[in-house]
Amino acid sequence: MDLEALVTSIENSGVGEWMRSSLKALPVVESIHVMAVALVFGTILIVDLRLLGIPNSRRPFTRVADELLSLTWGAFVIAAITGALMFAANAATYFDNAAFRWKMLLLLGAGINMAIFQFSTLKSVAAWDANSPTPRAGRIAGICSILLWTSVIFVGRWIGFTKGYDFEIPEDIELDFDFLGAVLQQHIQMLG
């Protein structure tokens, strides 16, 4: 099965049909998705700020990470499920959407950044866990994480405004800018 056929089958699935035909499904699922993404970003931001020593490095990194990352992963799972549901509703449109593709690449980048941090810098956490500056690699991972997740949010919001709508003006439409100028002139005279 080729990729286009897979995308079409996702869109034509029962889940895709339910998401498109239910009056409440899409707004509820999208709202849950936004809240889950906010929780993912908020908890990751706190961990990343700790990596940067903001506000300080007195609190052990391991404690901050242990307290927040379970929330992050739970919220990420919810965001992934709700994102998949929204994708199913208009899979072909999303698949061809540049903003959607950028979001997926940025998510992949965030995952790679996290994996590099987990398998390299985190191994030396005992040396910098509390009351010590985070090593340069940890600070770079924190900065990259903040930039990547911020970009995921910006590009994610972009998707809804670039879902393949045709914004070209049809050839048979005549725009009368003289009329618009006359209305504007009339309002200026009324104000003046």
Domain count of the fold of the chain: 1
Q: What percent of the chain has pLDDT over 90?
A: 72
pLDDT band (50, 70, 90) for residue 146: very high
pLDDT over 70 (residue 179): no
Q: What is the pLDDT of residue 136?
A: 95
Q: Which residues contact 110 (CB under 8 A, 6 or more apart)?
A: 145, 148, 149, 152
95 with 8: CB under 8 angstroms? no
Assess contact for 16 and 85: CB atoms under 8 A: no
Give mean pLDDT, residues 133-152: 96
Question: Do residues 78 and 36 touch, judged by C-beta distance below 8 A?
Answer: yes
Q: 120: domain range?
A: 3-191
Predicted confidence band of residue 185 (pLDDT cuts 50, 70, 90): confident
